[in-house]
Amino acid sequence: MGRKKKLENQAELIVDAAQELFDRYGFAKTTLEDIAKAVGIGKATLYSDFTNKEEILMAVVQRNQAKALEQMRLVIENSSDGPLKTLQNVLLQDALFTFHNMKKHFQDPNPIHPPPYLRGRVMGQSFFHQTLDEKAKLMAHLLDQAAAQGLILPLEDSLSQARMLRMALMSIKPPLMENRPDLALQPFLTTLIDMLLSGLKLPRNALERPCPPVN
């Protein structure tokens, strides 16, 4: 029996099938044979695009990260709000995306999701850091626009400020919110974002003013 002909867009089809199988059965239980069967190819044909299951996982994560970045770009491009309000929306969307991805790992770390050592490798990939950098650059541009319009104080390094905003929001992660059933996630994040951005509106000498005496 001759080898099956390689499909058009085969790598993309493999990633599609792998993501569905990983979500349904878990990374550990899904085999390369399962993925190849879902695509309709032989296991040997699969190896023409990927050397192992871990490499397929990296492709799945990379595509999801790229989709999240593109979604952020679309929100900014299609926004009819000013730069500060758009930044609030972008920060909220990014924080929710990060929180819900983390929540999956805390709720069911095994077998649905990859083991911790693989999650560490994912976060060490260049595409992961590039995506974070691109997100920070988009946010920094909005900060620059807001400063130019006099909505916030001028910033010496808007890119670093954007990264710090993201880091502050990434600290809100599971199981923190599960321990506070009285707090709804989206309103909580919205309030936090408002507080963080309000700090950029303070006069430069605000922190130098003496505190009023406590009675």
Predicted confidence (pLDDT) per residue in 164-202, tens digit: 998 888 877 666 656 666 568 888 889 999 999 988 885
How many independent structural domains does the chain possess? Answer: 2
Contact 172, 95 (CB under 8 A): yes
Q: Do 138 and 177 have their domain in common?
A: yes
Residues 210, 214, 215: CA angle, nearest 5 degrees: 145
Same domain, 111 and 129: yes
Which residues lie below 8 Å from residue 172, measured CB to CB, with a gap of 6+? Answer: 95, 99, 188, 189, 192
Give the global pTM.
0.75
Range of the domain at 120: 54-201
Query: What's the pLDDT at 2?
Result: 42
pLDDT, residue 28, reads 83
Per residue in 91-127, pLDDT (tens digit) is: 999 988 877 776 655 444 444 456 666 767 777 778 8
Cα 98 to Cα 22: distance, rounded to the nearest angstrom:
19
Residues 113 and 63 in one domain: yes
- Do residues 89 and 197 make contact, with C-beta atoms less than 8 angstroms apart? no
Instruction: Tell me, yes or no, whether 5 lies in a domain.
Output: no
Q: Which residue has the higher pLDDT, 123 or 139?
A: 139
**Do both 39 and 108 map to the same domain?**
no
Contact 49, 11 (CB under 8 A): yes
Pair 124, 24 in one domain = no
Asked whether the predicted pLDDT for residue 81 surpasses 50, the reply is yes
Q: Which two tokens stand for residue 165?
A: 């905003």
In a domain, 165, yes or no: yes
Supply the CATH number for residue 167's domain. Answer: 1.10.357
Cβ 87 vs Cβ 146: under 8 Å? yes
